[in-house]
Chains A and B, each alone.
Chain A
């Protein structure tokens, strides 16, 4: 706790800035740096830019919204992962531990099954995530046990498996020519379709959830202690747990609704952030948010530039995340304790 947070925060910010610069300048559509700055300057000053309309549309309608969405989704998943790892006192927990992703997946495939529009599919995914976690929480609280945290995690695993079976059932019933490919692509996660209209429904819940978590940062430190210790320090653990779970679920569901299922970010980034600034949530949360945004932005830049066709984000994050996580596990003693 005596370590200064500044160097760690600076590294995270540097990653995000490099990510932003790279993400705006590279892409399938060639955009020169001069065009980029002229369009951005013109946008800020309200003048008309000299670049062609296609270039303007690429920067302002296509690449810009996608870059912002990647940063928001990455930050949201990292913040939620950080909160859950602290709450459950377990370094192997990720934001989908309480069924948010499985619930969102079920909502989305049902939307695709009934051939709904994009907005309705996203709304169903968002609602599915919230409902799944609410159900897990209610069931977990109804079971009287000595260790409420353990019961909650186990309930999450079980309900998640049930929802996964539901996703399988809907895929089985779906039209194999049209709906099944759409479901598969959605479940693999992608920001290919992110546009301006996605940003507000994504930003709102992520901002609210993150604000609640940052406001609770001191109490979250206490929650990392054992239940009895936290209570003895005068913390009402029950209501606090509800608030943390609700806030983390809000951010997770919003990001899954926009980008589909993206694993690993919420698992790996909190560890990275912890190794940079230590376990104090007051520093950890902002660092994880910035780092998560930069990390997913870099991954998404790779996903959209490596080939003519998109590489699904879920696949890339797993390929990058797995070796990285094994390396982290080998060094975990230093960062977690």
Chain B
């Protein structure tokens, strides 16, 4: 078993070695890569990478970390959306088998997300084990333009990538330009609600509230961390002006729930259910799908500064990023936050 795997890896290494490698290509962490001249098959390490690659080069995508549901495929290129489930090789849950990764003969493994030591060493390991160049790109929000340009360089699609990078740049700069003058203490105080009872929230600096913290004060931002459980009493004490939620059950029940009745956001009808088709707008997966969410949040939080028509913005974004024109019914469906 060990021998056969070793020879398998050796064979794969040889393939990479023989193809003409481009010199001087590095990924976001500065690791030098021997990316092949022509990249035709890319294995996404996780959902953020799959979505990023789908937007720029859907034809290169070997498969999805998890199979897409038919409802989601209604907004995407049907044949690409239907590509098989291949598992993931990032983070704690390695659901992809490295031998099956090799069997798919990828030219490149693409990963987008944290560039901390843990993930760099993971990338190194997988690259050594498989002999396939493992590219790790920065998944942070303000790095999206740079990430697109880097990916364009790697797969040889500079011009296309430049368009996406510009869209991201324009979005970030326009929104920043219109809100930069607002002092942090004057920004709306937002509570981010997850879970069927709305009591799971993202603490300060967590990737789950990255979009919200770009635009508003996160009431739970006093503590740094990831997701946490909080009590209703704590929410009452925070008394947020706006509640952003991803949970349909919570959004449907919160206005009738006496324990939430005295929260400002509930009294003023400012509980907003985030759109989530085909990918979430504010939270997960943490990829370029959140760019449109930034427009949505800005429209909700600063109606006097943002007069964009969300329906038109949504249509343009879906055509450009998801390569399919949504119908009016679909746009209404998305904006209502339904699945």
Contacts and interface: CB of A to CB of B under 8 A. Distances in A.
Nearest to A27: B233
B237 A28 contact: yes
A119 to B, nearest CB: 9
Given A29-B236, A62-B232, A192-B199, A53 B262 contact: yes
Contacts of B261: 53, 57, 61
A308 B223 contact: yes
Residue with the greatest number of chain B CB neighbours at <10 A, chosen from A182, A307, A309? A309
B93 A58 contact: no
A269 to B, nearest CB: 24
Contacts of B236: 28-29, 54, 57-58, 62
A57 B230 contact: no
Contacts of A121: 196
Interface stretch (A68-76, A172-180, A325-333): A172-180
Given A176-B91, A176-B93, A118 B249 contact: yes
A31 to B, nearest CB: 9
Residue with the greatest number of chain A CB neighbours at <10 A, chosen from B227, B234, B249, B261? B234
Interface string A166-198: 000000100111100110010000101101100
Interface residues of B, number: 38
A280 interface: no
Range, interface on chain A = 20 to 34
A232 B259 CA distance: 56
Nearest to A54: B262
A98 B140 CA distance: 47
A185 B231 CA distance: 13
A46 interface: no
Nearest to B222: A308
B290 interface: no
Interface in B215-269: 220, 222-223, 225, 227-234, 236-237, 239, 246, 249, 257-259, 261-262
B220 A308 contact: yes
B180 to A, nearest CB: 29
Given A185-B229, A310-B228, A61 B223 contact: no
A177 B46 CA distance: 11
B284 A182 contact: no
B230 A310 contact: yes
A217 interface: no
Interface in B86-109: 91, 93, 95
A274 interface: no
A182 B262 contact: no
B194 interface: yes
Contacts of B232: 61-62, 192-193, 195
Residue with the greatest number of chain B CB neighbours at <10 A, chosen from A61, A172, A304, A312? A61
A244 B93 CA distance: 42
A28 B235 CA distance: 9
Contacts of B228: 309-310
Contact of B233 (A28, A117, A175): A28
Contacts of B203: 309
A195 to B, nearest CB: 5
A306 to B, nearest CB: 11
B259 A61 contact: yes
A182 B283 CA distance: 15
Nearest to A192: B231
Contacts of A62: 231-233, 236, 259
Nearest to B201: A309
B196 A117 contact: yes
Given A54-B236, A308-B222, A28 B259 contact: no
A63 interface: yes
A175 B231 contact: no
A195 B260 CA distance: 11
Task: Determine chain B's interface SS by DSSP, over half rule.
Answer: loop
B184 interface: no
Contacts of B257: 195
B66 interface: yes
Interface string A25-54: 001111000000000000000000000011
B197 A193 contact: yes
Contacts of A176: 91, 93
B155 to A, nearest CB: 26
A124 B98 CA distance: 37
A57 B200 contact: no
Contact of A309 (B93, B229, B239, B283): B229
Nearest to B225: A309
B227 A304 contact: no
B284 A177 contact: yes
B196 A177 contact: no
A61 B258 contact: yes
A310 B229 CA distance: 5
B229 A308 contact: no
B179 to A, nearest CB: 26
B247 to A, nearest CB: 9
B195 interface: yes
Contacts of A28: 231, 233-234, 236-237
A277 B325 CA distance: 74
A30 B238 CA distance: 12
B139 interface: no
A58 B229 contact: no
Nearest to B259: A61
Nearest to A185: B229
A78 to B, nearest CB: 24
30 contacts: A28-B231, A28-B233, A28-B234, A28-B236, A28-B237, A30-B237, A57-B259, A57-B262, A61-B258, A61-B261, A118-B196, A118-B249, A172-B93, A175-B66, A176-B91, A182-B195, A182-B200, A190-B229, A192-B199, A192-B231, A193-B197, A195-B259, A196-B259, A308-B220, A308-B222, A309-B225, A309-B228, A309-B229, A309-B234, A310-B228
Interface of A: 27-30, 53-54, 57-58, 61-63, 66, 117-118, 121, 172, 175-178, 181-182, 185, 190, 192-193, 195-196, 304, 307-310, 312
Query: Lowest 8 CB-CB distances: which A-B pairs, in order?
Result: A177-B284, A61-B259, A309-B228, A54-B262, A193-B197, A310-B229, A28-B234, A28-B233
